[in-house]
């Protein structure tokens, strides 16, 4: 089945540094990937939709200059948290849509990246 990986799985960084999180579709091509943030009460908030070869579409309230998204190839999207602060500490999850799959609406989710900013 379709597999999505994320790297790193967890990262601890100092306040003010930047952190890059990678999301890869391992056995399919994903023209669209999504980045989510999971809050303590388990809800998932969609941050942005990443489209291969074009600019990401950010949800209202998400700072695009702080959360940089690059979708440079059909199998890789990256989320860079710039000048991270403790309030950015969270669990970030990506998903990818397999446009050639049996159901092009299906999203396949990655395992998540736990970011802790000290």
Partner 1 sequence: GQNIDQPTEMTATEGAIVQINCTYQTSGFNGLFWYQQHAGEAPTFLSYNVLDGLEEKGRFSSFLSRSKGYSYLLLKELQMKDSASYLCAAMDSNYQLIWGAGTKLIIKP
Q: Which residues of the chain form contacts with partner 1 (CB under 8 A)?
A: 1-2, 9-10, 34, 36, 41-46, 91, 93, 103, 105-112, 114
**What secondary structure, in 3-state letters, does the chain show?**
CCCEEEECCEEEECCCCCEEEEEEECCCCCCEEEEEEECCCCCEEEEEEEECCCCCEECCCCCCCCEEEEEEECCEEEEEECCCCHHHCEEEEEEEECCCCCCCCCEEECCCEEEEEC
Nearer to partner 1, 82 or 91 (CB): 91
Nearer to partner 1, 10 or 16 (CB): 10
Nearer to partner 1, 62 or 82 (CB): 62
Nearer to partner 1, 79 or 93 (CB): 93
24 backbone φψ class: left, alpha, beta (φ>0; ψ -120 to 50): beta
Shortest spacing between CB 87 and partner 1, in angstroms: 20
Shortest spacing between CB 20 and partner 1, in angstroms: 18
Shortest spacing between CB 36 and partner 1, in angstroms: 7
Shortest spacing between CB 114 and partner 1, in angstroms: 6
């Amino acid at each position: 089945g379709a597999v999505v990986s994320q790297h790193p799985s967890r990262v601890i960084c100092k306040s003010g540094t930047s952190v890059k999180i990678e999301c890869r579709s391992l056995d399919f091509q994903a023209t669209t990937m999504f980045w989510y943030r999971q809050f303590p009460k388990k809800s998932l908030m969609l941050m942005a939709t990443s489209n291969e070869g074009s600019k990401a579409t950010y949800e209202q309230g998400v700072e695009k200059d702080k959360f940089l998204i690059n979708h440079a190839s059909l199998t890789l999207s990256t989320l860079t948290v710039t000048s991270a602060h403790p309030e950015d500490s969270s669990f970030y999850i990506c998903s990818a849509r397999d446009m050639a799959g049996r159901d092009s609406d299906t999203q396949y989710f990655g395992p998540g990246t736990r970011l802790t900013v000290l």
